[in-house]
Structure 1
Amino acid sequence: MNVLIKSATVLDSSSEFHNQTVDILIEKGVITNIAKQLDNPKNYKTLSLPNLHVSQGWFDSSVSFGEPGYEERETIANGLKTAALSGFTAIALNANTNPVTDNKSSVNYLKAQAANSPVNLNVVGALTKQSKGEDLAELFDMHTAGAKAFYDYQHAVSNPNVLKIALQYASNFDGLVCSFPQESKISGQGVMNEDITSTSLGLKGNPPLAEALQVARDLYLLEYTNGKLHIPCISTAESVKLIKAAKKQHLNVTCSVPIHNLYFTDEALHDFDTNFKLLPPLRNKKDIAALKKGLEDGTIDLVTSDHNPIDIEHKKIEFDHALFGTIGLESAFSALNTLFDTTTAVSLLTKGKSIYGIMQHTIAIGQTADLSLFNPKPKYQFETSHIHSCSSNSVFLKSELKGTVYGVYAKGQLMVK
């Protein structure tokens, strides 16, 4: 689609037009001109929106939809539409499906379903068969089919030898191995952070120790194998400390933090709202401070919405029996823009593509147009009306947020609200 974007403020530190308000001409998916003012002699579609800002396309490294197997939670088609309307031009899709994405044909199926979407769907294959943690999945075959990483979503690899072999094997083709940071025998049946709040609520606790033990073990295995490891969704101060030390040793490790773990503490569970039943659990103020500092100093590489739609039958039930997870694509930018200044929020959403082997496109003449479109100013209360997902299990419902998203231009397509 050819389009002329009018009066857009560019937020892209790699672009010569950074912090300038310009017109952007896009023809056949390529930026062909940028200037203070451009005419439209060919009568292309004109996009003019209040206080329009544009940046490089945003990326989310941990997204679940449901299809195949859990279409009642979310379909691929609507999930990709939700991602686009939330400003994301690229996502990494977890193997959180039934059957699990653990072979080449499953990877090909997911890629085919996303072929016509403006959102670049990057498949994350399971690390082990059926994500059971016993035998490695078909890592190389999935890699050749286009899988960007390997991860048993929210399932810790309890057998250290399995992770050791995975790191060694994947290093032969520069594969990215992900390990969920939880020692399951320590976390047990915990449903929230183990602290004074869990005691007062009478809920079983998942201690920070469970995360720290797993992170420490995985880092020792990484040092032994000289592989490449990504630790998704850390939540504790001790994890930040361990990973920072590992990076000083020049180990090839990266990590991410869920946006909601930067925003809420475990005190949010006082009303037993199952939307706040999350894995990893919400921690305390000390952990949040350490996580934010880890983002500032580069210890933490990525933020993620950890978008995980759950149908109402598995959320609107007794707290102990509800499934873990929250949706987060729709609130990701607004939550970050509330916590940080807009430049920082955008930077956090555009970082880390290289970890997953995804190309970045600066906003410049001759570059592929891969743009997120947003307005950083409006303040609003997040309601169900702001949700595009099939499921509505959001921790941000009733939260006061700042900044709205218009949509994206990517893969030659414009999708806006």
Structure 2
Amino acid sequence: MNQATYLLKNVRILDPSSPHHQEVLDVLLKEGKIAALGNNLQAEGAQLIEGKNLHLSPGWVELRANFNDPGHEDRETLKSGAAAAQWGGFTAVALSPQTDPVVDTKSAVEYLRSHSRKSPVEFLPIAAFSKGLKGEELSEMYDMREAGALAFSHGTKAVSNAALMRLALLYHRELPGALQVLSYDTAMTAGGQMHEGSKSTWLGLKGIPELAESLTMARDISLAEYTESAIHFQGVSSKIGVDLIRQAQAKGLKVSGDVNLFNLVWTDEALDQYDSNLKLYPPLRSEDDRQTLIAALKDGTLKGIASDHRPRTIEEKRCEFDLAQFGAASLEASFALLNTELGSELGLEKIVQCLSHENREIINYHIDSSIAEGGTMDLTLFDPEMEWNWKDHRKKSKAANYPFTDYTFKGKALATYQKGQWHSISE
């Protein structure tokens, strides 16, 4: 571990779990720990970190990203994905099991954990709960958990086999956290290109109805109730979906859900120009759905915001809209976009709370971390007022599908502190 000592001067603590929340203090970091907090701190030999409008929070954690390594390194690699995440202010990234081969064995989990040791970003493996993500046979979940898998999901693959889903919930009941799933009915989504509504009719594109989400969500909630298990819905996109989760929670069921970044920011109206970089799943939906998602985050029905970073190549995106692959790249601008577009609707404190504590809670990662003296934790330093333009940014990811061109952001990560090392963020 790097033994360097760092002294941060006059930083605003943004951490509701900390006794120093919203205080402006000096922070002394040494050997991966917060050695001291206070005013006018001095430390001989410490590296001085100072500037204007500095804010410090627990390190931001990405709920799910696909670095496509192994199998599709032309889209992204662990190295390029980590560079993108770190530039965006993330200290840890939960990685999708949807690689080639699938993360469905102990050795696959160990591969990710071994590469994490020398990375500026912690890799948190999410393992597949069915072999090969085929939805036919359970994977060795306990062995993968012992190897370092923090959570289990089915990637972006639907689970049409209700019997398999029931078994997965039963087995996962003995493991920490909740089983994660992206619920949708494949028959209802077949051939769909965007949200089903007046805009899809206007653009002449086949729609994906909200019913595609709610049908299997209702089934999975029933299975979770039957098995007395915890279930977490990834990327909830619709008002109907939020209502189902709210009703389940009112019954005392262990049901939760998160939301994807772009579903909070844009709607299907953004597809007027057939921008394939905004061809997403779950799709961008209506303004009513967007407002419902924001309200659900505020009242606690939903918790956590995922960038859902899905890198694609030029060939996969720069083609006819109906031939383009789903997904957008997002990691380098996740916080900046949220702060720019939702600073007034959600507020800075809630945005940071989602990226840090709520995302940690969902994947059971250092959930007791808070900025306090003696704490061992990762940190993100940022300026919520700094403006920067995407066209001036030298992209770290290999992805060709960031949905930005000439876009001015407000808010930028300045550095991260992970594994006892300070990582300044620069172009």
Q: Deviations over 1:216-268 (max 9, x none)?
A: 11101111111121110010000000000101111111211001101000011
Distance in 2, matches of 1:336 and 1:345, equals: 7
Q: Are 2:32 and 1:26 equivalent residues in the alignment?
A: no
Query: Residue in 2 aligned with 1:137?
Result: 139
Query: Does the CA contact (< 8 Å) of 2:304 and 2:362 recur in 1?
Result: no
> Which residue, 3, 13, 17 being the options, matches 1:14?
17
Query: Residue in 2 aligned with 1:307?
Result: 309
Q: % of aligned pairs identical?
A: 38
Q: CA RMSD in A?
A: 1.5
Distance in 1, matches of 2:52 and 2:205, equals: 46
Distance in 1, matches of 2:51 and 2:86, equals: 17
Q: Deviations over 1:354-405 (max 9, x none)?
A: 2322114211111114211100012344337263211131234444432111
Give the structure-2-normalised TM-score.
0.94
Query: Residue in 2 aligned with 1:323?
Result: 325
1:17, CA displacement in angstroms? 2.1
Unaligned segments of structure 1, at least 5 residues:
none
Distance in 2, matches of 1:198 and 1:381, equals: 31
Find the residue that maps to 2:174 and give its secondary structure: helix
**2:354 corresponds to which letter in structure 1?**
L
> Which residue, 196, 200, 207 being the options, matches 2:198?
196
Mapping of residues 29-108 of structure 1, within 5 Å: 29-41=32-44, 43-108=45-110
Find the residue that maps to 1:326 and give its secondary structure: coil
Distance in 1, matches of 2:43 and 2:352, equals: 29
Query: Residue in 2 aligned with 1:392?
Result: 400
Query: Does the CA contact (< 8 Å) of 1:384 and 1:392 recur in 2?
Result: no
- The alignment covers a number of residue pairs equal to 416
Query: Residue in 1 aligned with 2:224?
Result: 222
Q: Deviations over 1:192-212 (max 9, x none)?
A: 111111111111111111001
Find the residue that maps to 2:146 and give its secondary structure: helix
Query: Residue in 2 aligned with 1:159?
Result: 161
Distance in 2, matches of 1:55 and 1:372, equals: 5
1:190, CA displacement in angstroms? 0.2
> Which residue, 254, 257, 260 being the options, matches 1:252?
254
**1:271 corresponds to which letter in structure 2?**
Q
Query: Does the CA contact (< 8 Å) of 1:118 and 1:412 recur in 2?
Result: no
Q: Are 2:362 and 1:355 equivalent residues in the alignment?
A: yes
Find the residue that maps to 2:173 and give its secondary structure: helix
Distance in 2, matches of 1:306 and 1:224, equals: 30
**1:349 corresponds to which letter in structure 2?**
L
1:85, CA displacement in angstroms? 1.8
Question: Relative to structure 2, which stretch is displaced further, 404-413 or 271-280?
Answer: 404-413
Q: Deviations over 1:295-334 (max 9, x none)?
A: 0110101111011111111111111111111111112111
Query: Residue in 1 aligned with 2:111?
Result: 109
Query: Residue in 2 aligned with 1:405?
Result: 413
**1:36 corresponds to which letter in structure 2?**
N
Query: Residue in 1 aligned with 2:349?
Result: 343
Query: Does the CA contact (< 8 Å) of 1:62 and 1:304 recur in 2?
Result: yes
Find the residue that maps to 1:130 and give its secondary structure: helix
Distance in 2, matches of 1:255 and 1:369, equals: 26
Distance in 1, matches of 2:186 and 2:323, equals: 17
Distance in 1, matches of 2:321 and 2:135, equals: 27
Give the structure-1-normalised TM-score.
0.96
Distance in 2, matches of 1:381 and 1:176, equals: 38
